[in-house]
Structure 1
Amino acid sequence: MTETAAPPKGHDVIQSYLRTLDASPGVYRMLDDQSRVLYVGKARNLKARVSNYARPSGHSGRIARMISETASMMFLTTRTETEALLLEQNLIKQLKPRYNVLLRDDKSFPNILVAKDHAYPQIRKHRGRKASKGAYYGPFASAGAVNRTLNQLQKAFLLRNCSDAMFESRTRPCLLYQIKRCSAPCTGYISEADYAASVRDAERFLSGKSTDVQEKLAKDMAAASEAMEFERAAALRDRIRAMTQVQTAQGINPRTVSEADVIALHLEAGQACVQVFFIRANQNWGNRDFYPRTGSGAAEAEILEAFLGQFYDDKDPPRQILLSHGIENADLMAEALCEKRGRKVDILVPQRGEKAELIAGAARNARESLARRMSESAAQTKLLRGLADTFDLDGPPARIEVYDNSHIQGTDAVGAMIVAGPEGFVKSQYRKFNIRGDDLTPGDDFGMMKEVLSRRFKRLLKEDPDREGGTWPDLLLIDGGAGQVSAVADILGDLGVEDVPFIGVAKGVDRDAGKEEFYRPGARPTALKHNDPVLYFVQRLRDEAHRFAIGTHRAKRSKSVSRTPLDEISGVGATRKRALLAHFGSAKAVSRANLADLKAVDGISEAMAQTIYDFFNARG
């Protein structure tokens, strides 16, 4: 019997591609013998770049390992090297190759929106695509940074943050007017012209012209005081104070940098932290830390270059990007970002002056953040080992999935799944499940758990049957006792999944925290000592799952409460719904209206009035 020869790998495979390549720019992919992508790279000259990999020596340990695993390659040519750079970063984000630097936490950032689709513009937090008509100010590093700024802007400029529907329905001012956070335009307490002036002042402040605004308000305050309008003077004084508090809370307010992202990297023991400060309108609008995967040993320049390409893939770059370390292709990256933005973008590595001070501050934050994360990671690793020892697992679990349900007497039922691992909670992997089972008895927790787990594992079996994607759990934690554990065993057994361990966590005596009992198939229930770190760890996991389930349930309930029969009528969107409710007062009154009354509503055509009338008559 002859053995099948292993497919060739390494330099010889790479060498074989050289005769088919030319000097075109493009992107290459290196694949292993299972056709999994190991690495994605770009080149100004594909043949020259690939010939470097074909050499048997002169490579770093990381590149040498990658070459030794390469069984095949793929190529895409582009017109320019800039196109190759953009395509490379897109492919890295999609394919997540093992040897590339990968930005793992790339959420969108919130902005402040001054909406311009209403006579009295609303000011609010906005996240996502900039589709609404209005002026956007940002990005801010976090929702907390936006909320703090909005809170002070409300005090300073008394702009409304209520929805248009709420605005139209008010007959007297709300609490925000009473606590001096809004000028109550909804009830005519301020003229359209005066409100517009406040909006202009707020926008000037958000554009960096805070000194001008404060000087104007100071003059108005002095004039009011001289005219013995002491109440107005006090109100203006409060507005100036609120603006000052915004600047004080920001901490850093550079004089010579009006618009920049300050990006600093700290690399230690193969782990990296990238700290980003957002400077807009000469103000610090917050900072965020990122922990990119370093591609098995990449250096600072490669990590920062990959970070920039992936970070700005779906974000508008600022005028300046200040870096703690130089990157190899700074001119090329600047050109790519210029094309994206439509105007010049400078990438700088400052050595002196205020810009260097900003970088030094960001670098200090990156160093401290990485030290905290490494400390937390060591503690987390110890807890995972303790969990494995306590419950006789094969090894420390890399992925723990925790499940919980939430409902009120069976209504608006949702299932929730949270994920934890060596780096703590993995919030990007959290999932919610709207319970669909029409045959479930209200409050049937067993039935809900069966639906959730069936949907979860059927998807895993379909999308990752070979368990190579890192999405299969090493441990399940279920909220419940013997009954839930038995139900889970039946569910997984029916699906043919028999090697995923699971544990039921029940509240125990008097439902007190600390007296939890743990249930496993075929074993007696156990408890842990009150001060056992593993017990605290499991409590944290369970509480996080409960928090997420409750939050998801509340959001679903809130949405269902706000729904009316009008939502079911084809052609009745938010604007027509608002007009009907404003005219009739309630959905019930709309359902009782005759055809002539429906036609009298602004924005309701004769045909739409007939549709609405027929809808309610058919229901009756």
Structure 2
Amino acid sequence: MADPATYRPAPGSIPESPGVYRFHDPAGRVIYVGKAKSLRQRLNSYFADFAGLHPRTQTMLTTAASVDWTVVNTEVEALQLEYSWIKEFDPRFNVKYRDDKSYPFLAVTMADEFPRVQVLRGAKRKGTRYFGPYSHAWAIRETVDLLLRVFPVRTCSTGVFKRAGQVGRPCLLGYIDKCSAPCVGRVTPEEHRALAEDFCDFMAGNTGRFIKRLERQMREAAAVEEYERAARLRDDVQALQRALEKQTVVLGDDTDCDVVALAEDPLEAAVQVFYVRGGRIRGQRGWVVDKVEDATPGELVEHFLLQMYGEAAIPREILVPALPPELDAVIELLSEGRGARVDLRVPQRGDKKSLMETVERNAKESLAQHKLRRASDLTTRSRALQEIADALDLDQAPLRVECYDVSHIQGSNVVASMVVFEDGLARKSEYRRFSVRSDEGDVASIYEVICRRFRRYLEERVATGELDGGPEAGEEIGAVPPGQRSGQEDGPEDGAEIGADIGAENGPGAGRAAGAGTPIDPETGRPRKFAYPPNLVVVDGGPAQAAAAQRALDELGIDDVAVCGLAKRLEEVWLPGDDQPVILPRTSEGLYLLQRVRDEAHRFAITYHRAKRSRSLKESALDEVPGLGPARRQALLRHFGSVKRLREASAEEIRAVPGIGPATADAIVAALRGESPSPAGQGS
């Protein structure tokens, strides 16, 4: 725990200009970013009266080891730079608005040839129009079910759509006229897209023209005595009217605004937003935030506006409970993002004031519910970490835990995973995976991976000047031969799963601090990939695996990281060198947390192993080609990109690859297509 006086800037060294400042921890990670009209006045307030600061501000100051700042010309520039750095560094002590629940959206995939209507959650996709968010998915489905009578747009998945086209028969919705059945050619792509555009127009609030058009068609049908068609059109009108009834009219028809309300206590605040489009409430969304400083409602609103509308669509009017202190600068930024003037104001009377009170009641309810859930979560996690510390005789609770697991099938395609839990929660942006070179079993693999991970840690400490040099045995222990490091340590887990969590848990830019693979730069504060050490290393296995991990740390000279193994059979915790395991009660929260960490490492390792095995199986088809060695196999795959494209290539195209002769090209074609090879030199 650092003393803030040890890194307090010298008197008079802080400029009085506007700017943005950053606090760094001992590893160089940016842990807090702030802005100020006067840097001197703002930073001096941190060091003047430590006892009078907010408890979380005190924690931030004792966690930090240094502070720096950047001077800017205007308050708008300060706002922009602060927002950019919060996105880039994901500081742990900054205000982070976390969704209090996962909200569904109604989405129309306009980028598809045949647009599809569906319910989606999570990150937004390019080429898709979104409506909402809504409180409940069932509310969306009820609305869609009513609208499909009038706008029979496709709602089926890609697989169902393709199968229907193959068999020439639509699904049930096509038979009951709730789908125009483009899968079997009942409508052209242009006609179906027109239906999807009308659907989007109706959802966007342009409802009047559709109801008027249907009523006119109904009267025309009745006039020519087409009573069955007139009855269907009447039912369509009623369906649209019922869909509109589900969206409460609260303001004038031409009103588009977001209504933001706060509820707070000394430690946390809840934010609720109601989205009003065309005078109707189209959806709502909520966030909960930890308060690091004694922020005023206006300051909380300012933080929220910058984070919320940094990438989201900005309406022409935003109603807030309090105006931000930098009102003009915030309005200028929002207007620049929208491309038109944005009005930001506090409603004083009338319907907008009444709606603000309703949103405020929702915010208070959201905060109350969150406090009930969070009290349980915090208590449980704190108890679990303390139980682990007591069982393993640690000096303090292991706030950062790394777990390692090895995965293979009979010694082939050996891989390992490293997962990270901080404060009892998964930190997926810092997961790592290893392609293991050792083929001597799990114990040797654990030893190799621990060596490589902590050898990199020591190298990066040397690079930052924390150490004068690596360990004496550093060149031998887990050493990586020249040219073999590339591709051996991979980045964080990719795909949809990590995207929802980053967005939801770590925020934009997660994984760049303490895990992004770049050296620590004193100007940017970014550590390298393995620069942040754990308090506890957990390995999946028993005493042999735990001993191998401890041996690797001992040989590297690392003595401040605890090690244990968790054996699956009886869920025993093994400490290196102990003859008997540590037995945690089955009801122990500490054991449950260790199991979660171990199971997550196992899942991550299995996922990587399956991907690697799949790639190797695809390449194995070339192993049977006589005279085709590893170098020429790699040249072929680099040239064509995949085995599939290589299989589709002709012998003449294959011969274009350097090093591939006519006979070899014919042999490749024969091996991949199951044909008899042609005589040498005559092609296929």
In the alignment, the residues of structure 1 paired with residue 590 and residue 43 of structure 2 have an alpha-carbon distance, to the nearest angstrom, of 53
Q: Which 10-residue stretch deviates more, 68-77 or 346-355?
A: 68-77
Compute the displacement of 1:240 (Å).
4.9
The number of equivalent residue pairs is 563
Compute the displacement of 1:395 (Å).
2.0
Once the two structures are superposed, the pairs formed by residues 505-516 of structure 1 within 5 Å of their partners are 505-508=566-569, 515-516=570-571
Does 2:548 correspond to 1:483? no
- Equivalent position amino acid for 2:396 in 1: G
Once the two structures are superposed, the pairs formed by residues 221-232 of structure 1 within 5 Å of their partners are none
- Secondary structure in structure 1 of the residue aligned to 2:340: coil
1:103 to 85, 96, 99: 96
Alpha-carbon contact 1:112-1:138 (below 8 Å) kept:
yes
Once the two structures are superposed, the pairs formed by residues 217-256 of structure 1 within 5 Å of their partners are 240=239, 244=243, 253=248, 255-256=250-251
- Secondary structure in structure 2 of the residue aligned to 1:302: helix
**Residue 345 (structure 1) aligns with:** 342
Percent sequence identity over aligned pairs: 29
Does 2:83 correspond to 1:89? yes
Give the TM-score taking structure 1 as reference length: 0.68
Compute the displacement of 1:388 (Å).
1.7
Compute the displacement of 1:199 (Å).
0.9
Alpha-carbon contact 1:113-1:136 (below 8 Å) kept:
yes
Q: Which 10-residue stretch deviates more, 25-34 or 360-369?
A: 25-34
Once the two structures are superposed, the pairs formed by residues 407-426 of structure 1 within 5 Å of their partners are 415-422=416-423, 424-426=424-426
Does 2:378 correspond to 1:383? no
- Aligned in 2, Cα 1:120/1:506: closer, same or farther, shift over 3 Å? same
- Aligned in 2, Cα 1:615/1:340: closer, same or farther, shift over 3 Å? farther
Alpha-carbon contact 2:401-2:422 (below 8 Å) kept:
yes
Compute the displacement of 1:93 (Å).
4.5
- Secondary structure in structure 1 of the residue aligned to 2:166: coil
Does 2:182 correspond to 1:185? yes
- Secondary structure in structure 1 of the residue aligned to 2:305: helix
**Residue 491 (structure 2) aligns with:** none
Render the CA deviation track for 1:48-68: whole Å, top value 9, x for unaligned. Answer: x57986997899635997999
Does 2:535 correspond to 1:534? no
In the alignment, the residues of structure 2 paired with residue 9 and residue 85 of structure 1 have an alpha-carbon distance, to the nearest angstrom, of 26
In the alignment, the residues of structure 2 paired with residue 458 and residue 89 of structure 1 have an alpha-carbon distance, to the nearest angstrom, of 35
- Equivalent position amino acid for 2:371 in 1: L
Structure 1 unaligned blocks of 5 or more = 1-5, 509-514, 599-606
Higher relative contact order (CA 8 A, sep 6+): 2
Does 2:648 correspond to 1:590? yes
- Aligned in 2, Cα 1:81/1:455: closer, same or farther, shift over 3 Å? same
Does 2:558 correspond to 1:497? yes
**Residue 365 (structure 2) aligns with:** 364
**Residue 675 (structure 2) aligns with:** none
- Equivalent position amino acid for 1:103 in 2: K
Alpha-carbon contact 1:159-1:198 (below 8 Å) kept:
no
Alpha-carbon contact 2:97-2:287 (below 8 Å) kept:
no
Render the CA deviation track for 1:95-117: whole Å, top value 9, x for unaligned. Answer: 5678x743276999997664555
In the alignment, the residues of structure 1 paired with residue 36 and residue 373 of structure 2 have an alpha-carbon distance, to the nearest angstrom, of 37
Alpha-carbon contact 1:261-1:276 (below 8 Å) kept:
yes
Compute the displacement of 1:304 (Å).
3.4
**Residue 72 (structure 2) aligns with:** 77
In the alignment, the residues of structure 2 paired with residue 84 and residue 445 of structure 1 have an alpha-carbon distance, to the nearest angstrom, of 52
1:289 to 287, 290, 305: 287
Alpha-carbon contact 1:145-1:285 (below 8 Å) kept:
no
Once the two structures are superposed, the pairs formed by residues 312-327 of structure 1 within 5 Å of their partners are 312-327=309-324
1:334 to 322, 331, 340: 331
- Equivalent position amino acid for 2:559 in 1: E
**Residue 574 (structure 2) aligns with:** 519
**Residue 601 (structure 1) aligns with:** none
Compute the displacement of 1:377 (Å).
0.6
Compute the displacement of 1:413 (Å).
6.3
- Secondary structure in structure 1 of the residue aligned to 2:171: helix
CA RMSD across the alignment: 5.8
Alpha-carbon contact 2:19-2:70 (below 8 Å) kept:
yes
Does 2:375 correspond to 1:374? yes
In the alignment, the residues of structure 2 paired with residue 562 and residue 33 of structure 1 have an alpha-carbon distance, to the nearest angstrom, of 46
Compute the displacement of 1:337 (Å).
1.4
Compute the displacement of 1:547 (Å).
4.6
Alpha-carbon contact 2:414-2:437 (below 8 Å) kept:
no
Alpha-carbon contact 1:139-1:285 (below 8 Å) kept:
yes
- Secondary structure in structure 1 of the residue aligned to 2:551: helix
- Aligned in 2, Cα 1:502/1:93: closer, same or farther, shift over 3 Å? same
Q: Which 10-residue stretch deviates more, 86-95 or 458-467?
A: 458-467
Alpha-carbon contact 1:264-1:366 (below 8 Å) kept:
no
**Residue 3 (structure 1) aligns with:** none
- Equivalent position amino acid for 1:370 in 2: K
Once the two structures are superposed, the pairs formed by residues 589-608 of structure 1 within 5 Å of their partners are 590-591=648-649
Compute the displacement of 1:320 (Å).
3.6
Compute the displacement of 1:83 (Å).
1.7
Compute the displacement of 1:179 (Å).
6.2
- Secondary structure in structure 1 of the residue aligned to 2:421: strand
Structure 2 unaligned blocks of 5 or more = 468-513, 515-526, 623-633, 670-684
Q: Which 10-residue stretch deviates more, 33-42 or 515-524?
A: 33-42
In the alignment, the residues of structure 1 paired with residue 546 and residue 461 of structure 2 have an alpha-carbon distance, to the nearest angstrom, of 25
**Residue 602 (structure 1) aligns with:** none
Alpha-carbon contact 2:134-2:282 (below 8 Å) kept:
no
Alpha-carbon contact 2:259-2:320 (below 8 Å) kept:
yes
Alpha-carbon contact 2:104-2:137 (below 8 Å) kept:
no
Alpha-carbon contact 2:541-2:565 (below 8 Å) kept:
yes
- Secondary structure in structure 2 of the residue aligned to 1:321: strand
Compute the displacement of 1:266 (Å).
3.8
Does 2:424 correspond to 1:431? no
In the alignment, the residues of structure 2 paired with residue 147 and residue 445 of structure 1 have an alpha-carbon distance, to the nearest angstrom, of 51
Compute the displacement of 1:536 (Å).
3.4
- Aligned in 2, Cα 1:359/1:184: closer, same or farther, shift over 3 Å? same
- Secondary structure in structure 2 of the residue aligned to 1:327: coil
**Residue 511 (structure 1) aligns with:** none
- Aligned in 2, Cα 1:92/1:214: closer, same or farther, shift over 3 Å? same
In the alignment, the residues of structure 2 paired with residue 259 and residue 416 of structure 1 have an alpha-carbon distance, to the nearest angstrom, of 49
Render the CA deviation track for 1:60-102: whole Å, top value 9, x for unaligned. Answer: 6359979999987644232x3212221133234545678x743
Compute the displacement of 1:365 (Å).
0.9
- Secondary structure in structure 2 of the residue aligned to 1:335: helix
**Residue 500 (structure 2) aligns with:** none
**Residue 120 (structure 1) aligns with:** 114
Render the CA deviation track for 1:511-551: whole Å, top value 9, x for unaligned. Answer: xxxx4222111121243333344333433443444455556
In the alignment, the residues of structure 2 paired with residue 33 and residue 412 of structure 1 have an alpha-carbon distance, to the nearest angstrom, of 38
- Equivalent position amino acid for 2:546 in 1: V
Compute the displacement of 1:392 (Å).
1.9
Render the CA deviation track for 1:359-411: whole Å, top value 9, x for unaligned. Answer: 32133213321342133212221222222222322222212233345566677
